[in-house]
Structure 1
Amino acid sequence: MRNFRRLSIVVGSRVNDSTPTYRANVRENATTAEQLERATAASRVGGGPKAIERHTRQSGKLFVRDRLRLLLDPTSPFLELSPLAGIDLPYGNVPSGGVVAGIGKISGRLCVVMANDATVKGGSVFPITLKKQLRAQDIAMRNRLPLVTLVDSGGAFLPLQAEIFPDREHGGRVFYNQAIMSSMRIPVIAVVCGSCTAGAAYIPTMSQEAIMVKGLGSLYLGGPPLVKAATGEDISVEELGGADLHCRVSGCTDHYAENEEDALETTKNIISTIGHEVTGWDEEEIDSEYSPLWDPTEMRGLVPPSNDHRFPMLDIIGRLVDKSRFQPFKEKFGRELIAGSAWLYGRTVGLLANDGPLTEQAAYKGAHFIQICENKKLPMIFLQNTGHEEKFSDAAEAARTIAARSHMMRRVATATVPKITIVIGDGIGSANFAMCGQTARPNFLYLWPNARIGLCDLQSQNTDVISDKDDARRGAAFSAFHSSSRVYDDGVILPETTRKILHLSLTAALQNQSHC
């Protein structure tokens, strides 16, 4: 039993839910939550009812989310990553980026799972598909979690091959990462439950173990039509690259499955031989003694829909941490940054939260506290609201602030403990870097629906040369939905679900930390 009183301060307070401001915030944030719910629901239906019908009825395959349902432990949470990927891109909509990715339990072990959705453009790999795959692999490597890939892909979308093939962070990086994961002793498993054409053929062959489904799985660089065009030979899919060929003759795959259910059961058996079962992933395993004193759903009324207003940071922290208790650090110094220790589902964490630009004092305070967390091996949680870029009184003040922020950036970049960032308001300018933005490689980064991301905010730009149309377009480009559709983050989350998401992310990040 934790002695919560050892953390001296109860932060936050009861809210008056009858005030006009509170009610207005609830209404506005409910509208944004509905927008998020609609976008998430749209991503879950893949290529739409007709495409799913062709995939399941005509091809005899399982829909991607049914595959995940059979693979993952029942009733256990699945932390889906970047579900809004692929919305409103220059080359069209690619729901969920054409691949479902996330973290869940398989046979009691935490794993990163990514599964092609062949109902989206026939499983073709678009630039956004590749980006999401690489991010899933990065999360597996950073957190040392086994990677399971359910492959059903027609390979690269050739009209966009210039954005998929040539660069170091393009298609070949997937195979490079698989080799690096194997060298790090991170298990890499592939299930061939559909087409593995062209570059996709290397995913199972670069995996440590591969399962292939009879009659559905196929693995080759070029299919029967290409063979016919090149040699004039007629050959079937099974003869060219089916499960019998690769399990009995070529040896490219290691396990023969009669159907998809058999393949997924084999995968679970393989995972059961790896590592140890995770505890604490399911919320029912966590004692209710850790609940905050204040209701997290009240954050909908506390968070202003416009980031032009100040955020009640201590009220927000009080609805995220155990028993709403918090031990502040340098409480009276650099007050633009709140820093201190708290518990999250029984784990001690360092917490940094800014409400506005980082001043010189705030940045030095942050650098100092990050060093303490690193020395104590405390995982860090960043709550980021940078506000608008401030105006400096003179060049000397600007220079001192830049130097202080640089010091904090160095501490963030070199910290080896797990780091999780939530952008709850604005993530603008250099303060975004110092508060562990994506360039600082946090283990996970999420946005609230009202969040905005950018190098500089709209108010600081030269409005004389920006038309109303440009202003609307630039405003949309700052939004959380724009960011998440391009996989600049790991997902848009609601304020009231943040505590649970932090728990799942922290559990994943700490699961195999002792082996790093």
Structure 2
Amino acid sequence: MAENLSQPPEKLKRLHMMEPRDHFVSVERWRSKVNTKSEEYRKNLAEMTAITGFLHDRLRESLSQGSERAIQKHLKSGQLLARDRIELLLDEDSPFLELLPLAGWNQKDATLGGSVVAGIGLVCVPTIKGGSVNHVSVEKSRRIAEIALENNLPVIGMIQSGGADLTQQSRVFHAGGGSFRDMAIRSKRGIPTITVVFGSSTAGGAYTPGMSDYVIMVKNQAQVFLGGPPLVKMATGEVSDAETLGGAEMHSKVSGVSDFLARDELHALDLARGVMSSIHRKKRMSLPAAYWSIVEKPFYSAEELLGVVPSNVKIPFDIREVIARIVDGSRFSEFKPLYGHTMVTCFARIHGIPIGILGNNGVLFTESAQKATQFISLCNQSSIPLLYLQNITGFMVGKQYERSGIIKYGAQLINAISNCNVPSITVIVGASYGAGNYGMNGRSYRPRFLFSWPNSKCSVMGPDQLSGVMDIVLRQSTQGREIPKELEEMANQRKEKLRQKIEEESDAFYTSSRMIDDGVIDPRDTRDILGMCLSVIYNGDICGGDLRGISRL
């Protein structure tokens, strides 16, 4: 069975559980200051355990493949379920990192997961299940396509689609066409798409195999046509059955849309594996030598992360304690440890792969921004991937800091992040507010992967601050005049309503539902997920260099 790194099954196997070797002995192990017997630790542990439990409940919901009646009807027709297809396609014991599993969660006009199961194993596997494509399906598929292109990953698509959900046509039609452009661009760059058609695929669902490099269709089951029999009859008066119009045998023998005719679904999956083995895909860059050697696991247990990090993002914690529980041997070499203390920058290894880490220990001052800019430049120069651990309320404000050039040095940091050539990964482990989100490589700066912990919050600013600012603006508009009592009550009610709205919209599950991240993850799985993402990154070129761009020196 494939190991799903983003789902709740029992205890995840670690990629490396061997004895440590002395490949990083020159770096001192971090000496943790966390007291695991303290009241604070126990409180954090209880609250974070509850939050991660909520996460796993939602992830279990995302595993659902329909009602029992629908599943039985599907199985009786001789078809496998989407997740079973993925299991059979992947190599035995292959890890599987599911991406965006909570897309569409708690949205009235969307399905949980967007009717798409997508992730990375030994291959990248987007799977469109039976049913129409809604706006979440389109957005999720485009994000998976972006990941495949950036990381030089072949795509195996397993489709059975009714095309666009016509009730959402304005949100599906325009954006959906871009998915075919994505396929064309990947093909030009030598990144193949293999499509296995399991059932009827109409309209937009027909263009997917049409744009693919390899197409496999299941006999007496798969059908592909731009317009089904009812539409053809209405448009032309022609009467035809589905098999004659667009069946697997017709497309394999007559039209040539299909390259392989499968006897059944199991044969189709074998053919897909055969195509993958024949195209001889290799990583463009070799993983660092340490990856293939015995890797030192962290000295401190990942289980302790639930007690190290508070559930309340207002309570500070030392980001070094997080780093010590995800990097090899709990060893890291800190860069400029005595300067810009609210920004921690260090070199480490995760599963043997060198990485530069930036983490927050408070708001960003001018010194913190300068330090981060220099560190990014050094990693870019040495072609070392970057990891950003976000717990940030923003840049420091006030007269003193404006005079010290906080805008100038913040701009230099943004410039460095924007022009950095090496791949980056971002994990939101606490707060992610305002310009701090930008200064720590948020979604708009296109990290290769972005994950959130279930306790994290992400918005323009904290709910109390935002509602308070709006309240101040309202009161200033009165120009000092006394506010009538009834208007005072209305202002307070509006302030509280706005605070609740921002609280809801900053929640990790809300943002993940809208695909601001690539998934909400259990903090204890962070190291293994990062290890897999780093391995994926090496499918493409990692080539740094000097940073370019306007800097306000």
**Fold match, TM over 0.5?**
yes
Match of 2:206 in 1: 201
Deviation, structure 1 residue 325: 0.9
More displaced stretch, 463-472 vs 473-482: 463-472
- Give the Cα separation in 1 of the matches to 2:387 and 2:212: 33
Q: Secondary structure at the match of 2:199?
A: strand
Deviation, structure 1 residue 515: 9.9
Q: Secondary structure at the match of 2:191?
A: coil
**Contact in 2 for aligned 1:307/1:387 (Cα 8 Å):** no
1:50 pairs with 2:50: no
**Contact in 1 for aligned 2:383/2:543 (Cα 8 Å):** no
1:329 pairs with 2:335: yes
Alpha-carbon displacement from aligned partner over 1:337-389 (angstroms, at most 9, x marks no partner): 00010111111111110122221111111111101001100011110111366
**Contact in 1 for aligned 2:369/2:413 (Cα 8 Å):** yes
Instruction: Identify if the C-alpha distance between structure 1 residues 136 and 12 changes in structure 2 by more than 3 Å, giving closer, same or farther.
Output: farther
- Give the Cα separation in 1 of the matches to 2:364 and 2:312: 20
Q: Secondary structure at the match of 1:16?
A: coil
Q: Which amino acid aligns with 1:16?
A: N
Q: Which amino acid aligns with 2:125?
A: V
Structure 2 spans left out of the alignment, 5+ residues: 1-20, 472-490, 545-553
Q: Secondary structure at the match of 1:416?
A: coil
Instruction: Identify if the C-alpha distance between structure 1 residues 345 and 315 changes in structure 2 by more than 3 Å, giving closer, same or farther.
Output: same
Match of 1:99 in 2: 116
Match of 1:108 in 2: none
Instruction: Identify if the C-alpha distance between structure 1 residues 280 and 144 changes in structure 2 by more than 3 Å, giving closer, same or farther.
Output: closer
**Contact in 2 for aligned 1:12/1:319 (Cα 8 Å):** no
Identity of matched residues, %: 36
Match of 1:72 in 2: 90
Q: Secondary structure at the match of 1:60?
A: coil
Q: TM-score, normalised by structure 2?
A: 0.86
Q: Which amino acid aligns with 1:162?
A: S
Match of 1:5 in 2: 25
**Contact in 1 for aligned 2:463/2:500 (Cα 8 Å):** no
1:302 pairs with 2:308: yes
Q: 142, 148, 171: which is aligned to 1:140?
A: 148
Match of 1:513 in 2: 541
Q: 146, 163, 168: which is aligned to 1:160?
A: 168
**Contact in 2 for aligned 1:71/1:268 (Cα 8 Å):** yes
Q: 77, 82, 86: which is aligned to 2:104?
A: 86
Q: 521, 526, 531: which is aligned to 1:498?
A: 526
Match of 1:128 in 2: 136
Please provide the CA RMSD for this pair. 2.1
- Give the Cα separation in 2 of the matches to 1:417 and 1:35: 35
**Contact in 2 for aligned 1:389/1:457 (Cα 8 Å):** no
Alpha-carbon displacement from aligned partner over 1:155-174 (angstroms, at most 9, x marks no partner): 111111111123xxx01110
Instruction: Identify if the C-alpha distance between structure 1 residues 497 and 76 changes in structure 2 by more than 3 Å, giving closer, same or farther.
Output: same
- Give the Cα separation in 2 of the matches to 1:462 and 1:103: 40
Q: Which amino acid aligns with 1:444?
A: F
1:405 pairs with 2:410: yes
More displaced stretch, 41-50 vs 366-375: 41-50
**Contact in 2 for aligned 1:290/1:344 (Cα 8 Å):** no
Match of 1:34 in 2: 53
Q: 490, 495, 500: which is aligned to 1:472?
A: 500
More displaced stretch, 382-391 vs 489-498: 382-391
**Contact in 1 for aligned 2:426/2:441 (Cα 8 Å):** yes
- Give the Cα separation in 2 of the matches to 1:84 and 1:416: 30
Match of 2:125 in 1: 113
- Give the Cα separation in 2 of the matches to 1:35 and 1:201: 38
- Give the Cα separation in 1 of the matches to 2:512 and 2:93: 27
Deviation, structure 1 residue 458: 1.3
- Give the Cα separation in 1 of the matches to 2:139 and 2:22: 42
Q: Secondary structure at the match of 2:530?
A: helix
Q: Secondary structure at the match of 1:78?
A: strand
Q: 175, 185, 188: which is aligned to 1:183?
A: 188
Deviation, structure 1 residue 55: 2.1
Deviation, structure 1 residue 467: 4.5
Deviation, structure 1 residue 146: 0.6
- Give the Cα separation in 2 of the matches to 1:390 and 1:411: 19
Deviation, structure 1 residue 89: 1.4
**Contact in 2 for aligned 1:438/1:489 (Cα 8 Å):** yes
**Contact in 2 for aligned 1:387/1:425 (Cα 8 Å):** no
- Give the Cα separation in 1 of the matches to 2:357 and 2:542: 22
Asked which structure has the greater CA Rg, the reply is 2
**Contact in 1 for aligned 2:163/2:202 (Cα 8 Å):** yes
- Give the Cα separation in 2 of the matches to 1:86 and 1:51: 21
**Alignment map for 1:7-26 (pairs within 5 Å):** 7=27, 9-13=28-32, 15-26=34-45
Deviation, structure 1 residue 469: 4.0
Deviation, structure 1 residue 90: 4.1
- Give the Cα separation in 2 of the matches to 1:50 and 1:355: 52
Alpha-carbon displacement from aligned partner over 1:272-326 (angstroms, at most 9, x marks no partner): 1233567999xxx976641011111101001100000112211111111111111
Deviation, structure 1 residue 78: 0.2
Instruction: Identify if the C-alpha distance between structure 1 residues 140 and 218 changes in structure 2 by more than 3 Å, giving closer, same or farther.
Output: same
Q: 210, 218, 221: which is aligned to 1:213?
A: 218
**Alignment map for 1:277-426 (pairs within 5 Å):** 289-387=295-393, 390-394=396-400, 396-397=402-403, 400-426=405-431
**Alignment map for 1:481-492 (pairs within 5 Å):** 481-492=509-520
Alpha-carbon displacement from aligned partner over 1:33-58 (angstroms, at most 9, x marks no partner): 1111110011111333232223222x
Deviation, structure 1 residue 2: 4.3
More displaced stretch, 415-424 vs 451-460: 451-460
**Contact in 2 for aligned 1:2/1:346 (Cα 8 Å):** no
**Contact in 1 for aligned 2:187/2:193 (Cα 8 Å):** yes
- Give the Cα separation in 2 of the matches to 1:233 and 1:403: 68
- Give the Cα separation in 1 of the matches to 2:67 and 2:442: 34
- Give the Cα separation in 2 of the matches to 1:172 and 1:151: 17
